[in-house]
Each structure stands twice: as structure tokens, then as C-alpha cells.
Structure 1
């Protein structure tokens, strides 16, 4: 039986969770998922460990930079590293990934350096990386907006003949990522409708980090989120999102099915946001220290380290090198941000449309006149001081 299910258990709470590596590092065999992992080597797993260490270091540094006033805001992915690194590496080069605003591990797995992300949060650029070259859409800040867009892109792939050809370098799927809060947005339901109706090559991937800002997932849905898509006939699975192997294997299977013309899939990855929703949030007001402590015991980085130690494929020297590289990355980001000029506010009007737009041009001129008021006032003050 496939891990992807189309029926709801008689008792909704009996929804199983797929897990290959337990919090203590113990590995559980699974015929279907192990086949999807067969090509991975111990070197690959060490690389995933390093990836998670690196992106966590960048994440912590970004939070620090925001506190120093260098970023306008930051949405941390602390604790969600396995859910992102596993999913990002499971995609093929030609697949198109559509993230929200917290997919820093996805970006890293797709070759996007963290400084590109910091530029966005500082207001320097809407997207300082090429989404076409790296096959990763710019960050989406509006909840749910990326879901119908991802499905639309997948419909385009169908019409371009890039699905179900049997050519592994041609067939393409779309992976759209969102949180548990976005799963409650109307756009997600609309995305399910079109994906199911047209059997688009779309994989919907929810990182259920337990909190939509201050609203727990138990309030958002009375049943596991994985069951939501089944009403549309979209097969789904619930997995342990802190288990990088379970994430990799299920996302790989889902994308393979989508590319081959098998239609959409939905994955709910159970994980935990160990930091606040963003740097403007006080998570201490709505969740307990005990809850945070419990989830720290399920840390995805420590879990993979325990597993690799159990199979004698990692040592203290390798882990120390990863920590050193993480520190070096943090320092690079620190110096990069502190060396940036303040953004030009007028740039917000650039490239809104591919061609010049009369309304945007009018708004730009209004903004320039608004700015000029302050320049005139400053000049008057200087002249008055000189008298």
C-alpha cells in the first residue's frame, strides 16, 4: 500500500505519521520509502547535515541583524531545517519551486545564497536572484497567493508538453510550499480544485509548524491537515517533518508521480517553529516553555547526527568543521549587510510591470514630489541657521 492515502480513517485522529529516523536516531525500515532513498550515500547524508547547520547559522545571524536595525523584518525557520533541506534536495533541477517567506532551507538547497534573502528583507531588492535560472519563485509574503499561481504554472507545463513524456530531463513538476495557517486560506482550496480537476503536476507541501502566528493548528482544523486534500481526490500523507529522510523520500515520490502525469499530491510535514513567527512577534505570550522544550528534544539536526553516529558515518571533527563553516557564513552575512547602502525608495516603482505603466508613473511622480518637500524644508532650515 502506498504511503499516499485517498481515504480518511474512521477515527480521524488515527491518521498515521511516516517516520524513518526517530528522535533518538533509530532508523526504521520502510520498503516503499527505502527504494526512494536507495541512491543516497552516507556522503549525501553528511551533506544534508552540513546544509542544516549552515542554514541555521544564517538564520540566527539574520535574526541578530534585524535586532541591530539592519533588516526590516525576519521570519525564522529555526527548527524546520529538515523539512526544507529534504524537500529542496528531492526536487529535480527542472522542477519549479514556489515558496512562502520562510523557506530559507529550500533556497539553500536550490543554490540561493542567504545574502540574496537578506537583500529582500532589507528592502534592497524584490528578488536579487534569477527565479528562472534557479527554478525557484521569489518569496511570497501574501498568505496563500502562491498556491493558485503554482497550480497555474503547472497547467502551463501540461500545455507545453512537459509532463508525462517519460524523459527524466524533460518532465517537470511544481512544488508549492506553505504553512499550516495558509492551509486555511481560500486560495489553497481553489488550488486544490484546479489541481484535481486538471490533474496538474503539483505537489502541495505544508510545513505544519504548529502555530499560525498565535493560533495553534488544533484550532485551525479539527482533523489532521493531511486529510483536507482527500475531499478533492488528491492523495496525501502525513510525515515527520523533523526527519530529513522521511521528507526527502515522500517529496521525491510525490514529484515523480506528478511529473509522470499521475496528478497532484499533498504532504503535511509535522515540524515546529522554535523561534517567533517573525521578529515582530512575541511568542512567549501564546506558547509555553514546556512545549518549546519538548520540541527541542526532536531537533532535526541533532536527530540526523545521532543516526549518523549510530551507523559510524560522522565524527566530532566533521561536526566541528560544519560549525566553523556556519560561523564563517554568519560573519560573511554580517559584513555584507553592514556594507550595503540604504535602499532608494524610488526603486519600489521599478519593474512593477514589464512595460511602462501610466498609473505607476503617476504614483512615482507623486512620491518624488512628496520627497522634495523634505528636501526643501532641510534647505530652508540650513538657510535659516546661516542667518
Structure 2
């Protein structure tokens, strides 16, 4: 992600109000149509009522998914504050998309691979990426560049769609080793217009790779609405062209998202190949904390999606079922907040990086070129 100058931003043409409203209407209509036609799996409705009681997971699982969504949302909200305080770099918020990220990543184990985009902080946290290390990453600190040795999480991808073919490679490596481990890769609706997306699906289908492709259709690729990128209205059907399974799910329903992903992971472990999962959601926040979404949409455009909020949806269900109480939630929120503050203190304690560290954590064994560059950089700093 490159930051445009103020002059460049001012030169950007602002879409007509009719265009932004049409883009919002198209996204809202696609969601409503999917609900009506039943081609988008939903277990609980936006108001928290049960749609598919036969698919409800155990109460303990529902409560754990809620806890993980609360952890993700707290990170997202605090991330905005830290950025404004100058304590975090440019950060891509994901508030409103917690169900799409938590529900998918929660279906994995630490033996599986996760290939996240820059917006998938919630997925990485769910799988076990430490908060302190995540904060260090978004501070562009080397302390956040190296992933934990016991976790197969790749650093957040900034290039668009390159993670998809690489995830297929990791999945095939696990298959060749005879494990039942899978690889999961995320992409946005905009990324699905890239060539790497199609090459990866064809690659995975042809070689029956144990790979789970998550396509988060959040309605926008920066300032470009989905309807401008493609005339397709159901992106999960792209799986048919490559002979692999495809499923569409309400991306704001964490129970439905977890259900379809768990099924896809189980199929992959049995050797039944890859799955493309389209999670239908909406990017209610800015592209990044440095973005000004008012240049291409209005706040009114988000109103309908606030009613579909994934955290509030599951909360309403849990309270109605007696799985969660007001006191229990208060304790959970206090625990989540304390966990974050402890991690923030740890991140603040990391020493400032040295210039030469920018060349570390690139290869397991440094190449001669890297060693030479590192020596040159050290000589320049010391000189």
C-alpha cells in the first residue's frame, strides 16, 4: 500500500452521489437477494434469531467464537486510537468483518497454514498470533516481522493475490509429506480480479490440493465497488470453472462461517480437495486509517450494514439462549481489555530497531548479497 500525496488525493475525481448510492444499493441488494434465494448459508439472522437450529454448534463453541470476535474488535478499535497517538503505523481496519475472519480461522489448528492479507489481523489473532508481535508488525518494527516458530502464519500480505498460489504450494507440500494439514488463504473481492486468483484455483483443482480459499466480498476494493470490477453477482460460482467446491455464506454470521469452513477443512483433510468460500460482508470502515472514504461514499451508505453487525448479532443470540449473561460479558470484556494492555506494554518495551535489522528475517540462511549489503549499511551508519 503506497500513500498518495495530498496533491494527488485532491486530484482524484469524486464520484457523483448517484454513483456511490448505486454502489451501495448493489451491495445491499446482493445480500438481500442471497438471503431470499437461500444460496447464502445463514444460521442466525441479523436480529439474533435462529434460522438453522440443526446447524448450531455446541454452546461452548459459540461462546468461544464470541470471545474471539471481541478480541478482534478490541484490537481494531484500539488500533485507531494508537494510530492517532502516533503509536501505530498505517493500519487497515476490519471492524464489521470479525465473523468473516474469526469464523474461518477458528476452523484451523496450529498445524495448518494461514496466508492473510493486510486486512486479516483478526484471523491471525484467532489462530494464535500474539498481540504484542502484531502491534510490532503494524509499527514496522523487526520485532513483528518474524512469526512465532510454533505458528504457520505468513506475514500480512501487502501485494494483492500473491498469497493464493503460495498457499497452494504450502498445501501441496503438506500433501506430499503425508500430513492432513491444510492451507488457508484470504483475498478480497478486488483481489479475485487478479490473475493469481484464477491461477491458484486452477492449480489447486488440478492437483487436488488441501487448500481453503477465503474470498471476503466486502463490497469495495479501496474506492472501487464490486459491481465495477465484475458483472458476476455470486463470486463463489467461480469455483465451478476449476472443478472445485464453492460455497457462499453470510460473512456477518460467525456460526455459519465457522460451519462451512469446518466442513471444507474436514473435506480437505480427507483428501477431497480445495474449497472456495465467499463470505458476503461489507467494509463499513475506511480502507486504511489514512484513507478518506467520504471521497467515494457517504456515511449513510453504511447504515444498513450496521444492523447486520456480526458481534451484536451473536451477542443477541447468546443472551437470548442464556449462554451469556450481562455479568459474564462484563468479565469477558475486562479480560480482553487487560490482555491488550499487557500486550501493548510488552510491545512498548521492545528496543528500537537498528538499521541493519531491515535485512534480517529475509532468508533462513543469509545470501552473500545480503551479508554484503548488511556490512555496507553498518559501515555507513558507523561512519
Q: TM-score, normalised by structure 1?
A: 0.84
Pairing partner for 1:227 from 234, 237, 253: 237
1:257 aligns with 2:267: yes
What per-residue deviation string (whole Å, max 9, x for no partner) do you get for residues 256-293 of structure 1?
11111111110000112232111221112112212212
Q: Which moved more, 1:262-271 or 1:288-297?
A: 288-297
The Cα of 1:196 is off from its aligned counterpart by: 1.1
CA distance in 2, matches of 1:59, 1:43: 25
CA distance in 2, matches of 1:334, 1:133: 22
CA distance in 2, matches of 1:61, 1:334: 10
Pairing partner for 1:199 from 208, 211, 214: 208
Q: How many residues of Structure 1 are paired with residues of Structure 2 in the alignment? A: 348
Pairing partner for 1:313 from 315, 323, 332: 323
1:327 aligns with 2:337: yes
C-alpha contact 2:133 2:347 (8 A) present in aligned 1:
no
1:55 aligns with 2:64: no
- Pairing 1:1-387 to 2, within 5 Å after superposition: 16-29=39-52, 34=55, 40-125=57-142, 126-130=144-148, 132-162=149-179, 171-223=180-232, 224-368=234-378, 370-371=380-381
C-alpha contact 1:71 1:118 (8 A) present in aligned 2:
yes
SS at match of 2:285: coil
The Cα of 1:60 is off from its aligned counterpart by: 1.3
What per-residue deviation string (whole Å, max 9, x for no partner) do you get for residues 291-342 of structure 1?
2121111111100011112222222111222222233234334434444433
SS at match of 1:90: coil
SS at match of 1:205: strand
The Cα of 1:161 is off from its aligned counterpart by: 2.0
SS at match of 1:133: coil
The Cα of 1:176 is off from its aligned counterpart by: 1.1
The Cα of 1:362 is off from its aligned counterpart by: 3.5
CA distance in 2, matches of 1:148, 1:15: 31
The Cα of 1:15 is off from its aligned counterpart by: 7.8
C-alpha contact 2:145 2:361 (8 A) present in aligned 1:
no
Q: Which moved more, 1:185-194 or 1:66-75?
A: 66-75
CA distance in 2, matches of 1:43, 1:296: 26
CA distance in 2, matches of 1:242, 1:286: 23
SS at match of 2:101: helix
SS at match of 2:323: coil
CA distance in 2, matches of 1:108, 1:210: 24
C-alpha contact 1:104 1:114 (8 A) present in aligned 2:
no
C-alpha contact 2:359 2:370 (8 A) present in aligned 1:
yes
CA distance in 2, matches of 1:72, 1:174: 29
Partner of 2:12: none
The Cα of 1:85 is off from its aligned counterpart by: 1.4
Q: Which moved more, 1:143-152 or 1:11-20?
A: 11-20
Unaligned runs of 5+ in 2: 1-32
SS at match of 1:72: coil
CA distance in 1, matches of 2:199, 2:53: 34
Unaligned runs of 5+ in 1: 1-10, 163-170, 377-387
CA distance in 1, matches of 2:257, 2:88: 31
C-alpha contact 2:201 2:239 (8 A) present in aligned 1:
yes
What per-residue deviation string (whole Å, max 9, x for no partner) do you get for residues 213-271 of structure 1?
11111212211211222111122111101101100100011111111111111000011
Q: Which moved more, 1:334-343 or 1:220-229?
A: 334-343
C-alpha contact 1:242 1:300 (8 A) present in aligned 2:
yes
Pair 334,237 (structure 1): closer, same or farther in 2 beyond 3 Å: same
